[in-house]
């Protein structure tokens, strides 16, 4: 049974459809059985650009609320605009990328729509007239499977758990959605500015398909260049353990873990990280985990798919050199 699916579009920093939203489109196309069952939603000053991005991957039907005030309004206002689109499009399922925005949106939308809700979803399929989905629980120590009778649900998909859709350009069919009447308090805030956090020279930590993180095993801040050089050779983002950021070796924006960033790359390389549970919670959903540590009993090896026990000061430069050779990097 094909389902009617509404995908919530979240803009990237450049004003285009974010990678997480594109992954949600890919999941929707498979679950809905094709583009005819999928619609998009976009709001704010970038709504028209997002609609064009939806059309580029085969989603022609897009519900738009072109209201710039929603750019900086509280999420409660955005969700009410989505509720109007839901009333018109009549979806069975609403999908959103599992970003900070997406996780917050999921609960609010489900409560307003009276639907089931789940975040961190890594798989979603049909199930005897209902919907079955899987997601990690207990800090990644287990995976649960849930079923929703009837399938009415709002799901936030874990980043990098679903492939991107292929480009299949179609003519966009926008459906303007007027901004519903909102309490003045929901339109009062205005964004005064945006300040970029300090990151490495590679891709953004939250969006990267490969992440290389360094820990206290590097011994001193001047040795962190080993992590950065390996990351550069792989085209990866650079992360760090809390011990590193607490010591001031790198800014807190590099931190991966329970009190830092949660990442879900295709490959996660932990260099000199022992593997405290606070760190593991933030990277356990990585598809492949490689650990490099001199302590064979370090907890990180319990979750790693591949482990290298030895002196990181010998292993990491050798690994970087080999990656450069294979990739033809000078």
- 250-279 burial, b at 16+ Cβ within 10 Å, e below that, comes to bebbbbbbeebbbbbbebbbbbbbbbbebb
CATH class of 5-186: alpha beta
Domain segments of the chain as ranges: 5-186, 210-327
Domains 5-186 and 210-327 share a fold: yes
Tell me the per-residue pLDDT of 136-174, one tens digit each, with 9 for 90 and over. 887 667 889 998 887 689 999 988 889 899 999 999 999
pLDDT of residue 198: 60
* pLDDT tens-digit series, residues 289-315: 999 999 999 999 999 999 999 999 999
| pLDDT of 39 over the 60 cut | yes
- pLDDT at 199 (0 to 100): 59
d(CA 209, CA 98): 15
User: In sequence order, what are the beta bridge partners of 40?
Assistant: 7, 62
Residue burial 23-47, b: 16+ Cβ < 10 Å; e: rest: bbbbbbbebbeebebbbbbbbbebb
**Architecture per CATH, 210-327:** 3-Layer(aba) Sandwich (3.40)
pTM score, two decimals? 0.79
Q: How confident is the model at residue 35 (pLDDT cuts 50, 70, 90)?
A: confident
């Amino acid at each position: 049974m094909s389902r009617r699916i509404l995908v919530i579009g979240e803009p990237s920093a450049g004003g285009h459809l974010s990678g997480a939203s594109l992954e949600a489109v890919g999941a929707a196309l498979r679950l809905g059985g094709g583009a005819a069952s999928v619609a998009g939603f976009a709001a704010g000053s970038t709504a028209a650009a997002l609609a064009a991005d939806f059309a580029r991957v085969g989603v022609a039907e897009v519900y738009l609320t072109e209201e710039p005030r929603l750019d900086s309004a509280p999420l409660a206002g955005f969700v009410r605009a989505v509720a109007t689109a839901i009333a018109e499009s009549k979806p069975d399922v609403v999908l959103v990328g599992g970003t900070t925005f997406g996780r917050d949106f999921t609960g609010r939308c489900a409560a307003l729509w009276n639907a089931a809700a789940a975040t961190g979803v890594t798989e979603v399929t049909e199930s005897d007239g209902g919907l079955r989905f899987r997601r990690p629980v207990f800090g990644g120590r287990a995976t649960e499977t849930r079923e929703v009778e009837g399938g009415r649900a709002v799901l936030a998909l874990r980043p990098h758990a679903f492939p991107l859709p292929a480009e299949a350009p179609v003519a966009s069919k926008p459906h303007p959605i007027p901004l519903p009447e909102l309490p003045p308090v929901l339109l009062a805030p205005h964004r005064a500015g945006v300040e970029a956090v300090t990151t490495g020279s590679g891709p953004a930590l939250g969006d990267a398909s490969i992440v290389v993180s360094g820990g206290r095993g590097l011994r001193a801040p001047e040795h962190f260049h080993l992590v950065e050089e390996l990351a550069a050779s792989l085209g990866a983002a650079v992360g760090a353990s809390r011990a590193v950021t607490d010591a001031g070796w790198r800014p807190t924006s590099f931190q991966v873990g329970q009190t830092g960033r949660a990442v879900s790359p295709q490959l996660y390389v932990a260099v000199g990280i022992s593997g405290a549970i606070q760190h593991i919670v933030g990277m356990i959903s990585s598809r492949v985990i490689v650990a490099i540590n001199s302590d064979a009993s370090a907890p990180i090896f319990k979750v790693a798919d591949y482990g290298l026990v030895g002196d990181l000061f010998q292993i990491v430069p050798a690994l970087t050199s080999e990656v450069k050779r294979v990739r033809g990097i000078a």
